[in-house]
Structure 1
């Protein structure tokens, strides 16, 4: 049975970047860990307690979470039903008797946020706060790791981002911060942390850092809103996904991601990585 000194932890997202990195750190803590995954066949090697459940299956999720005290809830994969899945999973945690949820949200989550997916995070936060469980919210900025991917093989980051700045954070720094919180969740109850990198860069500056670190020409190409929607039409994705993609850039242009905090360093004792550090693998 879990105790206050050694609560059992349930971890979602262990097959992904952040959840997987958190798992590796917590394995060294000696705390009892349960992995809640959609496909047990993809669970990391060496996991003893693996339970299958999806966010949207309340019955399976309730069974999977029963007997755990703290839940690390990595936000679900982007989908049209994401908010419903989040609410269902939180309700399942309540039914299972979970005491504390640590949720990965988004920086500037708000009902009227420019970035459309930040609105979903805000609604999830509200549902969690009203659940009766203790909570801790990790509001992550955009991930530093994705900007080189945005440049693609062409070496061009395209979007309506203007001269806006973004204090993007490395996934590894989010994982470090989350692990610290989870090792003593009660000490962080009712807290919201804004996890950012150490600097806020324009997209042109980001392209310049990528070019310098990789030796490959990389530039930022400004698009109008009309151009942004048109250039994404060939992907054939639903409207909500296009809106999310485009609003990634318009949120930066609006200045909503021009935020730098010291939360990562205060939690972990070490400063977050710069983009140049990440690209050098340091």
Structure 2
């Protein structure tokens, strides 16, 4: 029995669909059962927040393996992850497959990547078997970097990022869940190449038929241009530091994980845009 957390999200719902297609027994662990994907042969938990350990323990009852999708970015994110890990131990779960982040380290540039490192350490110390999937930034995220004015703004310099598609991450996760994996392994999950944001702008522009450009902001400009969102300081720092991590080369490593685990090549940005035209609909030239 698998427990799939974050089953209403971009990766979790894809993993759940792949397990359903494979006929695997699974339970979707969600905050709102009404939003759970409709799949044949799956159980859906009662409402279960990561921070509600007792609810998570009940959701994990009879489960062998948990696919743990990281919580939404918050100041309490690591504590929420620890709550889930503790619940897994108490429920008698044997293994966690955790969706982490490329370059996760105690002092990595991307501040949200540090949350992933602390979570990994907690899982290592829990006594559970584990596999860590460290995915790069998502291709969908790269597209979302483009403002409505057709400009990608951020302090990424000339750095490169091996961005990956949600579908490829889900394919890897489902394969490892179903086929099993030696405990203690960590996999980088990336696209087929590392590209700079100027290249990404050109590719997106070609796909949507308008000029898309990249502006390399200073750190000060990056914080100033995001001030209008009135977001919490930790969140803005996370946004800005994602570009800084690209500049530092911390997201440029290309892995062969998708090819090796799934048997197919990962999508690059051009293929992603072809397969997901809705991702650039807002950027298409408007008829006058």
* TM-score bin (small chain): over 0.9
Matches within 5 A, 1:8-23: 8-23=1-16
1:280 aligned partner: 274
Deviations 1:138-195 (A, max 9, x none): 000000111111103211110100000101111110001001001022x342111100
2:248 aligned residue (254, 266, 277): 254
Q: Distance in 1 between matches of 2:94 and 2:222?
A: 44
Query: What secondary structure, in the 3-state scheme, does the structure 2 residue paired with 1:31 have?
Result: coil
Q: Distance in 1 between matches of 2:250 and 2:39?
A: 41
Whether the aligned pair in 2 keeps the contact of 1:99 and 1:133 (CA below 8 Å) is yes
The answer as to 2:88 corresponding to 1:96 is no
1:4 aligned partner: none
- TM-score relative to the length of structure 1: 0.95
Q: Distance in 1 between matches of 2:4 and 2:185?
A: 19
Whether the aligned pair in 1 keeps the contact of 2:64 and 2:94 (CA below 8 Å) is yes
2:21 aligned residue (16, 28, 35): 28
Matches within 5 A, 1:219-234: 219-234=213-228
List runs of 5+ in structure 1 lacking aligned partners: 1-7
TM-superposed deviation, 1:84: 0.4
TM-superposed deviation, 1:255: 0.8
List runs of 5+ in structure 2 lacking aligned partners: 277-288
Whether the aligned pair in 2 keeps the contact of 1:181 and 1:188 (CA below 8 Å) is no
Deviations 1:216-258 (A, max 9, x none): 2211011100110111111101100010000010000011111
2:32 aligned partner: 39
Q: Distance in 1 between matches of 2:38 and 2:190?
A: 30
Q: Distance in 2 between matches of 1:216 and 1:26?
A: 39
2:146 aligned partner: 151
Alignment root-mean-square deviation, CA: 1.0
Q: Distance in 2 between matches of 1:216 and 1:23?
A: 37
Whether the aligned pair in 1 keeps the contact of 2:17 and 2:39 (CA below 8 Å) is no
Matches within 5 A, 1:186-197: 187-197=181-191
1:200 aligned partner: 194
Q: Distance in 2 between matches of 1:236 and 1:153?
A: 19
Tell me which stretches of 4 or more aligned residues in structure 1 moved more than 2 Å.
Answer: none
Whether the aligned pair in 2 keeps the contact of 1:100 and 1:135 (CA below 8 Å) is yes
Residues paired across the two proteins, number: 274
